[in-house]
Amino acid sequence: MEQAVRDGFASLSEFESKSLLASYGIPVCREKLADPFSPAEISRAAREIGYPVVLKANGRKITHKTERGLVYLGIRDEEQLLAAAGDLRSKTDGLDCDGFLVQEMLAAKRELLCGLIRDPAFGPCVAFGLGGITAEVLDDVAFRIAPLTGEEALDMLDDFRGRKILDSFRGEVPVDREALAGLLAGLGRLGDVLGVESVDANPVLIVEGRPVVVDALVTLKPGAGEKAEEENPPVPEELWESLFRPRRLAIVGVSRSLTHPGRLMLESLRGIGYSGEICLVNPEIEEIDGLPVYPSLKDAGAGGPLDLVLVAVGASLVPQVLREAGAAGARWAVVLTSGYSELGTPEGQAKETEILAVARQQNIRLIGPNCIGIYSPGGGVAFFPQQEPGSGIIGGFAQSGSITAFFELLLKERGMYASKLVSIGNALDVGPEELAAYLGEDQETKIIISYLEGVRRPRAFFEALRKVDKPVIVYKAGVSRSGSRAAASHTGALAGSARIWEGMFKQTGVVSVGDLEELVDAAAAFYYLRNKNLAGRRMAVFTSQGGAGVSGADACESFGFELATLSDETQKKLREIMPGAGTSWQNPVDTGFGSIVPKVFRQSLLVVAQDPGVDLVLVVGGAPTFLGRRLFMVEEFAEWLTELAPAIKKPLAAVMNIPLMSRESYNLLYQAGIPVYSSVHRAVRALKHLYDFSIRRQL
């Protein structure tokens, strides 16, 4: 490899590539490299391998051999071999050919692609999918970040659309999954070889169930992979208390204007009931609402060291504020100011570089810039005046200030509350990797949510997520080409490849969602059902609406659940309880007009929930009637289900299709620990996230 780079070659030859793969335990086809001008050597190689054979040109600059007619297949005897060799010599005249490859001819019906790439964000990643000529046409490839554990490599085998090809196929035996996983793990280890830019093993044939690499290309780059991620000093464990429970803080840039970020911070702290000392700083104001305002942090520092400084001044003034904060003993600074790398300009980037350098000099850790602050109800810190002091179990962070605010509002709407929320903005210093690691250990936090556009240190984020044993729900935006451009302008972060992000989430067990609605739906499933035992994927759908039952059946199939088969005993009991007309005793269970009778609803639901073949229950509420306190009897439904909930030990979720009419009923169900959704699709999708996480926990 070193010699090839010194000689100016961008890749190894096929023979050299496969020799390298073989040295890492990757199975390659039997082959020999022969002198193109020695018929005796070519013939001897074929005899040692055994006919039929394949003849190829070999060289560091010879690529796309099939398209150029430099491959001869199915050679059955010496006469054909020497004729092919003569023909190949004429075609390679003038090419940089260093020999002819004589290979065993392998027949196989299944072709796979395995490889290694260096992603600009994540570094070495393993690729796996359908190979041969289908690789580019079907584009069915999955990725994982290297190196791979054996379990991660095995999991990767089921992460492409054509995975059934690994099973028995047209008389072929199933693929040896351990051998194939070993091949992928071997490719992952090649990521440690700095000069390797990429490895393309395509096709990998499945011969008698075992994988064999028959063609490979290793591309080279001087010092490939040498650029490591910038190292970020770890946040000392004891330092987090100063951020989330500051005893003394300052707002620099406070204003009398209610629309100014500094004034917003003051009103937010007042609104949530912050009990510590607040130091206000603005050289142009002497007091606000009777509170003294200091001309500088130096003047405010007489009362002792500061835990936290909220910075709401223009970008040009931030470095000086950070120097004063350091002199005042501040441990943290939340820089609300914008005008940095999110602008996509050299000037904005230079300003970021400057404030990070100053923060390092002053031994201050930064949140932001370009953010709205933190919400820590336990510490009395908020970024909006309406935020409440009640602390919950959901911690989160987001690169968008508005979405950080939406987190708190959307959780509260579902009867859920946050432990800590952080708007990280451009995440110049402390970013997703530090917060994921902290929240993963935080005793108050049981569920982690996040909105991300990009990550400055993606490998560190990957390693942090690997260690988190709690549900982590991430909405990753910026995965499309236009989305990536928008993400760069918003946070100045590297969005990365959508497929590699997807693979990383699967590798770390992250619950990946596509929008805020799905994120909060999933959070509700984890929040309300976290203490329930989800033993399997057999679901019972209980409803009084025929259409909802059909929708439930469709959703179960779409998301990989099974409609539970109710026992004969269960169906017999249902026939005794439910009216005969307009009902169904099979799953989905449709109680029809019987659902307006409390006794029928209660008894039939309990019978279904107690069936041993049912793992979880989805109840679609609302009887088809105008009777009751409201149309569809939504309030009665919520009350009856709330009464029954303690007797149902299995995971239980509800659906009510008209949220505006059902708001009080929703709240009643939340108080009873029942997640409720506005559609069957949303409910089953959220339950699938819960089920997948529980399965990974058991592995």
pLDDT per residue as tens digits for the range 54-64: 999 999 999 88
> What is the mean pLDDT of the segment spanning 23-50?
96
| Same domain as 605, residue 638 | yes
Residue 591 has pLDDT above 90, yes or no: no
Any domain includes 12: no
Q: What is the pLDDT of residue 579?
A: 76
Contact (Cβ atoms closer than 8 angstroms) between residue 564 and residue 549: no
Highest mean pLDDT among 18-22, 130-134, 487-491: 18-22
> What pTM, to 2 d.p., does this model score?
0.91
Helices 432-441 & 458-467 angle (0-180, nearest 10): 10
CATH number at residue 56: 3.30.1490.20
Instruction: List the single range of 134-138, 561-565, 653-657 with lowest mean pLDDT.
Output: 134-138
| Same domain as 325, residue 205 | no
Contact (Cβ atoms closer than 8 angstroms) between residue 613 and residue 566: yes
pLDDT band at 548 (very low <50, low <70, confident <90, very high): confident
Please count the structural domains in the chain. Answer: 5
Instruction: List the single range of 317-331, 371-385, 506-520, 634-648 with lowest mean pLDDT.
Output: 634-648
pLDDT averaged over the chain?
A: 90
Helices (H), 92-149: 134-138
Any domain includes 20: no
Can you tell me which residue has the tokens 């199975």? Answer: 27
Q: What is the pLDDT of residue 595?
A: 64
Cα 465 from Cα 504, distance rounded (Å):
9
> What is the mean pLDDT of the segment spanning 112-123?
90
pLDDT band at 490 (very low <50, low <70, confident <90, very high): very low
> What is the mean pLDDT of the segment spanning 253-258?
92
pLDDT band at 492 (very low <50, low <70, confident <90, very high): very low
| Same domain as 252, residue 185 | no
Among 171, 186, 220, give the residue marking a domain's end: 220
Among 474, 497, 529, give the residue marking a domain's end: 529
Contact (Cβ atoms closer than 8 angstroms) between residue 637 and residue 665: yes
Instruction: List the single range of 101-115, 120-134, 465-479 with lowest mean pLDDT.
Output: 120-134
> What is the mean pLDDT of the segment spanning 394-417?
96
Instruction: Give, as one character, the DSSP assignment of residue 173.
Output: P
| Same domain as 206, residue 118 | yes
CATH number at residue 302: 3.40.50.720
Residue 529 has pLDDT above 60, yes or no: yes
Any domain includes 341: yes
How is residue 461 written in tokens?
């984020």
Cα 406 from Cα 409, distance rounded (Å):
5
Q: What is the pLDDT of residue 487?
A: 46
Q: What is the pLDDT of residue 488?
A: 42
How is residue 372 written in tokens?
């709205």
> What is the mean pLDDT of the segment spanning 602-624?
90
Helices 516-529 & 401-413 angle (0-180, nearest 10): 40
pLDDT band at 66 (very low <50, low <70, confident <90, very high): confident
User: Cα torsion at 301, 302, 307, 310 (round to 10°)?
Assistant: -40
Any domain includes 603: yes
Residue 226: Cβ-neighbour burial (10 angstroms; 0-12, 13-18, 19+): exposed
The helix (run of H) or strand (run of E) holding residue 435 is helix 432-441
> What is the mean pLDDT of the segment spanning 584-600?
79
How is residue 564 written in tokens?
């539970």
Q: Give percent of the chain with pLDDT exceeding 90.
A: 73
Residue 186 has pLDDT above 60, yes or no: yes
CATH number at residue 581: 3.40.50.261
Can you tell me which residue has the tokens 């019972």? Answer: 540
Cα 680 from Cα 656, distance rounded (Å):
9
Q: What is the pLDDT of residue 594?
A: 60
pLDDT band at 299 (very low <50, low <70, confident <90, very high): confident
Any domain includes 312: yes
How open is the CA angle 570-572-578, to the nearest 5 degrees?
95
Buried-state track 517-555, b at ≥16 Cβ within 10 A, e below 16: ebbbbbbbbbbbbeebebeebbbbbbbbbeebbebbbeb
Residue 563 has pLDDT above 90, yes or no: yes
> What is the mean pLDDT of the segment spanning 245-259?
94
> What is the mean pLDDT of the segment spanning 621-646?
75
Q: What is the pLDDT of residue 11?
A: 93
Residue 302 has pLDDT above 80, yes or no: no
| Same domain as 545, residue 662 | yes
| Same domain as 551, residue 654 | yes
Residue 496 has pLDDT above 70, yes or no: no
Q: Is 612 left (phi over 0), alpha (psi -120 to 50) or beta?
A: alpha
| Same domain as 482, residue 424 | yes
Residue 426 has pLDDT above 80, yes or no: yes
| Same domain as 139, residue 67 | no
Any domain includes 18: no
| Same domain as 675, residue 573 | yes
Any domain includes 225: no
Among 365, 383, 416, give the residue marking a domain's end: 365
> What is the mean pLDDT of the segment spanning 140-144?
90
How open is the CA angle 155-158-164, to the nearest 5 degrees?
150
Any domain includes 356: yes
Cα 313 from Cα 466, distance rounded (Å):
38
Domain with 202, as residue range(s), is 111-220
| Same domain as 630, residue 547 | yes
pLDDT band at 634 (very low <50, low <70, confident <90, very high): confident
Residue 602 has pLDDT above 50, yes or no: yes
| Same domain as 185, residue 91 | no
Q: What is the pLDDT of residue 495?
A: 37
Q: Position 524: which residue type? A: A
Q: What is the pLDDT of residue 489?
A: 39
> What is the mean pLDDT of the segment spanning 672-692?
96
pLDDT band at 621 (very low <50, low <70, confident <90, very high): confident
| Same domain as 490, residue 632 | no
